[in-house]
Chain A
């Protein structure tokens, strides 16, 4: 193991421990790691944006004569007018365009992913108890999200079944994800253990 690797791994181990100290309470070590990671991420992201967006989408598109890109470039420049009190209204057009386009693109995607695919997958024959329960519970869960009807009387019962169905699903999801998080913790602890071994091997020659 090279000395340089020991140093870099040592830094990673130190920062991991700094973050873990948060389990006790907020402290200067955590603050240091937090600000370091936030600062490094902000700097890294800025350079990423510069290369992936400015160089690729602005400089190269103009250099290669793809002048249609002038429209998003102008909208992007419009965002910079926020720094001027007099002209900041221009930025609202850029924001409106951005949100309008994003929403417009999202609608068919949502319609396909969350409605058509789900409904198609739920139209199943009543050939088993399991299939019958799937259809009933889906209907009850959908009913829970009815907002223009008070959940009283029979509606309340259906709505209650719906929310219990959702909670069973959420419980399963919770357990599954917690298992994944525990795996991440184990991975980090193994990293620390390996680092201790690396150092011991380095010192031992």
Chain B
């Protein structure tokens, strides 16, 4: 009896549901049209991507009438490309619902040792077509074909502000270099870290132990590494005079070549080319942590008395500095990597913070070019501080032209 009652109840519910459904049951059962196909996007056109190196185009279109309206079933757009209008079109990517453009860009002719099919050749005509995509893998017809070329741009119009900034700074640099060359003696305030260099080298000489100079894990072209080379030159010259051994383990072949030249020249200037050995500068490995393991080993086995860390450093900074502490070395560090400065400050005896590293080069060498550049930097900073202060005051009064002036959109 109970089962019969339950069956009748379920049947009544089913009939009620069918009776209240918007689509009659017989219509659902006889429908053979399938899910609705979205309309294709229209007015497809291709234009060169502005301000690039000639390996990118932008495909644009008008949204499908079913994107956000109509049947509202468009999920995205698929973009296809071909070398010729009647050729085979291959899928290059997709844009999500509501997007009316796709950036097709690739500047690598070779990828993984084979020609890259996605590579966009400069000034070659490419043909594109787009289609809408709905749920369940339902696609519209392809749009009409549109063509376009990637053109190489020599000038990036968005970087005019940077150009103006560089020119202003450059004019300061040239002016102050000429002044310095003309004999003007510019004041450079003393830096504790640099004043400690001579003492640190003297300590190593007295202890009869070597000095370790680490140029970091950047490349020879990094500005901080270049500043490191200038400091290395000064340190190497002193070590040559005191006949103290200096060890420079590096992680990049070009850095090794530059370090060898720097140390060799310093030994020559100190009048001791006879004691220079290329092995003082050793290549360890290019990979970060293996390099750190190797440098740590040198610190502990050679019992270096003084460690210099000058250049670009990453996550290895604390590991190096802590190992130096274990070895009982006096340590002087300098980097422009903001994220690593806290570790050097905490774990080394002296730290050159950011721009102090560049200033140290000028302070040590006293070369007119470097001292003049340092003076220009100070003037540049003064202008920036003024802009910042006036800009903040003006923007408080809803005047944003100074902020607009320094806002560069790339």
Instruction: Give the B-binding residues of A (Cβ under 8 A).
Output: 19, 22, 26, 31, 33-35, 37-42, 44-45, 51, 55-57, 60-61, 64, 66, 79, 82, 91-92, 95, 98-99, 101-103, 105-108, 110-112, 115-117, 119-120, 122-127, 131, 135, 138-139, 142-143, 145-151, 166-167, 170-171, 173-174, 177, 181
Contacts of B169 in A (CB 8 A): 111
Asked if A99 contacts B188 (CB within 8 A), the reply is no
Roughly how many angstroms separate A139 CA and B385 CA in the complex, as a whole number? 6
Roughly how many angstroms separate A79 CA and B257 CA in the complex, as a whole number? 9
Asked if B254 contacts A119 (CB within 8 A), the reply is no
Task: Answer whether residue B378 sits at the interface, using C-beta atoms and an 8 A cutoff.
Answer: yes
Asked if A40 contacts B290 (CB within 8 A), the reply is yes
Task: Answer whether residue B155 sits at the interface, using C-beta atoms and an 8 A cutoff.
Answer: no
Task: Answer whether residue B2 sits at the interface, using C-beta atoms and an 8 A cutoff.
Answer: no
Roughly how many angstroms separate A109 CA and B387 CA in the complex, as a whole number? 20
Contacts of B342 in A (CB 8 A): 170-171, 173-174, 177
Given A98-B220, A123-B388: A148 in contact with B186 (beta carbons within 8 A)? yes
Asked if B285 contacts A41 (CB within 8 A), the reply is yes
Other-chain residue from B165, B284, B374 in contact with A148 (beta carbon distance below 8 A): B374
Asked if A22 contacts B296 (CB within 8 A), the reply is yes
Roughly how many angstroms separate A10 CA and B168 CA in the complex, as a whole number? 61
Asked if B297 contacts A26 (CB within 8 A), the reply is yes
Contacts of B384 in A (CB 8 A): 115, 119, 142
Asked if B221 contacts A124 (CB within 8 A), the reply is no
Task: Answer whether residue B355 sits at the interface, using C-beta atoms and an 8 A cutoff.
Answer: yes
Given A38-B284, A148-B187, A173-B338: A115 in contact with B165 (beta carbons within 8 A)? yes
Q: Which residue of B lies closest to A131 (CB)?
A: B392
Roughly how many angstroms separate A120 CA and B342 CA in the complex, as a whole number? 25
Contacts of A126 in B (CB 8 A): 392-393, 396
Task: Answer whether residue B287 sits at the interface, using C-beta atoms and an 8 A cutoff.
Answer: yes
Task: Say how far A1's CB is from chain B's closest CB, in angstroms.
Answer: 28
Chain A CB count within 10 A is highest, among B387, B402, B406, for B406
Roughly how many angstroms separate A35 CA and B161 CA in the complex, as a whole number? 49
Q: Which residue of B lies closest to A40 (CB)?
A: B290
Task: Answer whether residue B258 sits at the interface, using C-beta atoms and an 8 A cutoff.
Answer: yes
Roughly how many angstroms separate A124 CA and B166 CA in the complex, as a whole number? 24
Task: Say how far B27's CB is from chain A's closest CB, in angstroms.
Answer: 57
Asked if A42 contacts B290 (CB within 8 A), the reply is yes
Contacts of A38 in B (CB 8 A): 284-285, 290-291, 293-294
Task: Say how far A181's CB is from chain B's closest CB, in angstroms.
Answer: 8
Task: Say how far B106's CB is from chain A's closest CB, in angstroms.
Answer: 14
Q: List 9 A-B contacts (CB under 8 A).
A: A41-B286, A61-B110, A98-B254, A99-B226, A115-B384, A120-B407, A123-B395, A124-B392, A149-B187
Majority DSSP secondary structure for residues of A touching B? helix
Asked if A79 contacts B285 (CB within 8 A), the reply is no
Task: Say how far A163's CB is from chain B's closest CB, in angstroms.
Answer: 8
Asked if A101 contacts B221 (CB within 8 A), the reply is yes
Other-chain residue from B254, B289, B375, B392 in contact with A79 (beta carbon distance below 8 A): B254
Asked if A56 contacts B290 (CB within 8 A), the reply is no
CB-CB nearest 8 A-B residue pairs: A102-B221, A41-B290, A123-B391, A174-B342, A41-B287, A170-B342, A34-B293, A42-B285
Other-chain residue from A64, A124, A148 in contact with B395 (beta carbon distance below 8 A): A124
Contacts of A181 in B (CB 8 A): 318
Asked if B221 contacts A103 (CB within 8 A), the reply is yes
Task: Answer whether residue B341 sits at the interface, using C-beta atoms and an 8 A cutoff.
Answer: yes
Asked if B285 contacts A102 (CB within 8 A), the reply is no
Task: Answer whether residue B403 sits at the interface, using C-beta atoms and an 8 A cutoff.
Answer: yes
Roughly how many angstroms separate A178 CA and B183 CA in the complex, as a whole number? 49
Asked if B301 contacts A26 (CB within 8 A), the reply is yes
Task: Answer whether residue B238 sits at the interface, using C-beta atoms and an 8 A cutoff.
Answer: no
Q: Which residue of B lies closest to A44 (CB)?
A: B287
Q: Which residue of B lies closest to A126 (CB)?
A: B396
Contacts of A57 in B (CB 8 A): 110
Asked if A145 contacts B258 (CB within 8 A), the reply is no
Contacts of B377 in A (CB 8 A): 147
Contacts of B161 in A (CB 8 A): 116
Contacts of A111 in B (CB 8 A): 162, 165-166, 169
Contacts of A167 in B (CB 8 A): 345
Roughly how many angstroms separate A79 CA and B252 CA in the complex, as a whole number? 13
Roughly how many angstroms separate A85 CA and B114 CA in the complex, as a whole number? 39
Asked if B223 contacts A106 (CB within 8 A), the reply is yes
Docked complex: B389-410 residues within 8 A CB-CB of A: 389, 391-393, 395-396, 402-403, 406-408, 410
Contacts of A135 in B (CB 8 A): 388-389, 392
Docked complex: B312-340 residues within 8 A CB-CB of A: 318, 338-339
Other-chain residue from A108, A125, A146 in contact with B162 (beta carbon distance below 8 A): A108
Roughly how many angstroms separate A45 CA and B291 CA in the complex, as a whole number? 12
Asked if A123 contacts B402 (CB within 8 A), the reply is yes
Chain A CB count within 10 A is highest, among B253, B300, B392, B395, for B392
Docked complex: B337-394 residues within 8 A CB-CB of A: 338-339, 341-343, 345-346, 353-356, 359, 363, 374-375, 377-378, 381-382, 384-385, 387-389, 391-393
Task: Answer whether residue B159 sits at the interface, using C-beta atoms and an 8 A cutoff.
Answer: yes
Other-chain residue from A102, A125, A166 in contact with B222 (beta carbon distance below 8 A): A102
Asked if B406 contacts A120 (CB within 8 A), the reply is yes
Task: Answer whether residue B261 sits at the interface, using C-beta atoms and an 8 A cutoff.
Answer: yes
